[in-house]
Structure 1
Amino acid sequence: MSATHLTEKDARAAAALQNTPPTGNPDRRLSAALWCAGVATFALMYAPQGLLTQIGNDASVSPAQASLLVSAATLGLALSVLPWARFSDRVGRPTAMRYAAATAGLLAVAVPWLPTFDALVAGRFVQGVALGGLPALAMTLLHEVAAPARTAALAGSYVAATSLGGLSGRLLVVPVADHLGWRPALAILGGGLAILMTILIALLPAGRARRSPVPSTGILAIHLRDTRLLALFGIGALLVGGMVAVFNYLPFRLEAAPYHLAPTVVSLIFLAYLAGTAGSRAAAWLVGRFGQRTVLVLACTCMAGGTMLSVAGPLVLILLGVAAITAGLFVGHAVASGMVGAHAKTGRAQATALYNVSYYAGSSLFGSVGGFAWASGQWLSVAVLVLVLTALALLLALLPSTTARRVVATESC
């Protein structure tokens, strides 16, 4: 496309690609927009996780059934990311993200007031469908708009924002719920996140459709035959499934004997997400120094070691184990998701959408499977499940096809 055909927003994006500082600093604006998307999406998606014991007692459902409030949202997200990617090809990434943010903001306030547990599960599923347009398109927008030299830092910043969102959503609602009840707590959080979604809508650049010469079904078929991409999809699904199982059922362990911790105290375990924030920010540096495969192996090993620590009795060791699990997940996720976006030269939106499908399907599936593990052998069985998942992810990380050129990861993880 010649310069005479560029819109004002395209000109700004082109200037960014040339490392020319245009008016308004679009990289900084994009970073702020993606930060809002990461925090709001993950705070909204995982906020009920800190309240599962209270909701389970109030609704008279089992721990496995209570966990459906998390799994339903992640399942809705997993099923919606491909439609969101296709929709964004028609209207542009930013426009699609605006629709997603507006819908998710409205649902954030409405869903907590649904009267029955079954209605809540259905509402959370719809909420996940709306949220799917944000993580499905954030990385794609980043690669299309940001200067190449900035993609690694911006991607790490976005993943760090997702960890902060996951932390704040889980941590903030519990003390409010202790005083007002879990429904008002979720509604108050939803109101704050609706404001954040409004800011996101204002910060996103103008969007234009980016049509691919290959039909979307053909692009998906190409990606599904790519062994490197399939391995990366599997790594994301297995690692996040293990971490979600940990956070779904650890509160049930800590609120029971011999710990008898109050829900507000138990919610402090989510401070382990700060380890994930640090890990995702450090991922690009680690890959540049040690290479992709080494960092993926390190992430899997860190999760496995943390899981074994969590089986110990002393509370300090349990907390250290959870921090290691969280750091391992976010390092692995930052590297794997960045490699997907960099490796897919055609149909990048579809490739990142497929990664998100596998990632959130893994979260939904293994988060629920963890309930069966808990019912059969409580925490020891949950730990065994997580170790199996991390071992499978490690095998995928060691496959020769998983590793791309180092320069790709240092620019894109």
Structure 2
Amino acid sequence: MGKWTLGVLFAATVCGISSIYLPQPLLPLLAEAFGASQATASLAVTATMLPLGLAPLVYGFFLDAVPARPLIALSLGLLGATTAALPFCADFKVFLALRVVQGLAVPCLLTALMTYLSTSVPPAAVRRVMAAYIAVTVLGGFSGRFFSGLTAHLFGWRFPFYCLGATIAACCLACLALPPDGRSAFLPIRLRDAPHVLAKPGFLTTYLIVALLFFVFSGMLNLLPFRLGELDGGYSPLRAGAMYCGYLMGIVTCLTSHRVSGRLGGPAGAMAMGAAVVIGAAGLFAVPATWAVFVSVFVLCTGMFMAHSVAPGVLNSAEAEHKGLVNGLYISFYYSGGALGTYLPGLVLGRLGFGAAAAVLVAAAAAATALAVGLRRSGPLPGSLGGRGGGR
């Protein structure tokens, strides 16, 4: 795979991930602009994550039978059009409807990208390329949040949507020139393949671990702008965007994850350590101080991406035939946890207070840690899920 092709694929990844999180630092502004409550404004993120938890299953089946390249361009085109249309919405229900459409386009894009990458490189390079892909998704998550807060602070809440819509359109045009992806080694898709994939040793446990961790991750970051409003200094879009600088720690973690996993006894050890770190992040987030919120994002991203960066590569290495389905299931579990995380902690916050919401996050991280420790103790599994991982 050439550098230009890899660059275009990674640019498409940044655009897709940025579109999910663009509204997150703007939630208080959206609540004010549309006359909505905090809980209702939070649906701007939930509305996109909910389809992300369901649609990849369908796309995973589909991608095992058709080329990924045209779906990448098609989903980018739809995503660019809806992003540019969001600031023109006069009613929040229309805004949410467009966000749901984006939630259907993004999983098509991400599943196609993961499948394209995993089938266009030699088998020995799959885990390294997938770790780099996860690092790029981290960059997308940071960019969508930080530059959204920055540009909204300077030019108003509508401007970030204009900018990202234009960027996605340019990326869509570049993707039209991608070379075909390799599909010849795949078997025709069968409905019974999903239970087969989930029944493989360690697969379901790994999916549950990433779902629980992303529940905590999404819950913390969705509560963050509102949490700032309760602390000294208050909320502003720039201040909220700056709080997401901890995302940059996730890039470092992703690029070193496989070397670290070798020292921790393999990918399962890395997932267990990452989940344990997330427990600490959730506890730190509950401290009523701005510095604690800022530091907690660094800790959260370190733990979250320590686990998240090794899991897709291991799963793809262990399943040679149904990569589209494997990646579709991964994204489905991942964003199902995230969708629940954007809603449930906020619901608990409104009824029982911030301490109870933080306790929910800690409990989810503890459950993920227990699953990862059990996976590590189960011994070597296909794709080195339970054994030692090699260095990068």
TM-score norm. by structure 2 comes to 0.91
The yes-or-no answer on 1:315 pairing with 2:284 is: no
Distance verdict in 2 for CA 1:152–1:345, change over 3 Å: closer
1:351 paired residue among 308, 312, 326: 326
| CA apart distance, 1:402 | 8.4
Aligned residues, how many?
387
Q: Say whether the 8 Å CA contact 1:140–1:341 is kept in structure 2.
A: no
Q: Say whether the 8 Å CA contact 1:248–1:367 is kept in structure 2.
A: yes
- What is the match of residue 165 of structure 1? 140
Query: Hey, what's the Cα distance between the residues in 2 that align with 1:72 and 1:103?
Result: 16
Query: Hey, what's the Cα distance between the residues in 2 that align with 1:406 and 1:200?
Result: 31
Structure 2 unmatched runs, 5+: none
Q: Say whether the 8 Å CA contact 2:78–2:105 is kept in structure 1.
A: yes
Query: Hey, what's the Cα distance between the residues in 1 that align with 2:185 and 2:125?
Result: 24
1:110 paired residue among 64, 72, 85: 85
1:81-120 alignment, distance < 5 Å: 81-120=56-95
Distance verdict in 2 for CA 1:236–1:123, change over 3 Å: same
Query: Hey, what's the Cα distance between the residues in 1 that align with 2:379 and 2:45?
Result: 30
AA aligned to 2:50 is L
1:122-271 alignment, distance < 5 Å: 122-202=97-177, 204-207=178-181, 209-210=183-184, 212-213=186-187, 215-271=189-245
| CA apart distance, 1:237 | 0.8
Q: Say whether the 8 Å CA contact 2:213–2:365 is kept in structure 1.
A: yes
| CA apart distance, 1:53 | 0.9
Structure 1 unmatched runs, 5+: 1-25
AA aligned to 1:359 is Y
Query: Hey, what's the Cα distance between the residues in 1 that align with 2:34 and 2:370?
Result: 41
Distance verdict in 2 for CA 1:138–1:328, change over 3 Å: same
Query: Hey, what's the Cα distance between the residues in 1 that align with 2:116 and 2:180?
Result: 11
| CA apart distance, 1:214 | 5.3
Q: Say whether the 8 Å CA contact 1:298–1:328 is kept in structure 2.
A: yes
Aligned-residue RMSD, C-alpha: 2.3
Q: Following superposition, which runs of at least 4 residues in structure 1 exceed 4 angstroms of deviation?
A: 208-212, 405-413
TM-score norm. by structure 1 comes to 0.87
- What is the match of residue 26 of structure 2? 51
Distance verdict in 2 for CA 1:148–1:35, change over 3 Å: same
1:370 paired residue among 319, 327, 345: 345
AA aligned to 2:371 is L
| CA apart distance, 1:172 | 1.1
- What is the match of residue 18 of structure 1? none
| CA apart distance, 1:338 | 1.9
- What is the match of residue 294 of structure 1? 269
Query: Hey, what's the Cα distance between the residues in 2 that align with 1:412 and 1:101?
Result: 34
Query: Hey, what's the Cα distance between the residues in 1 that align with 2:106 and 2:32?
Result: 28
Identity of aligned residues (%): 25
Please, which moves more after superposition, 372-381 or 322-331? Answer: 372-381
1:274 paired residue among 242, 245, 248: 248
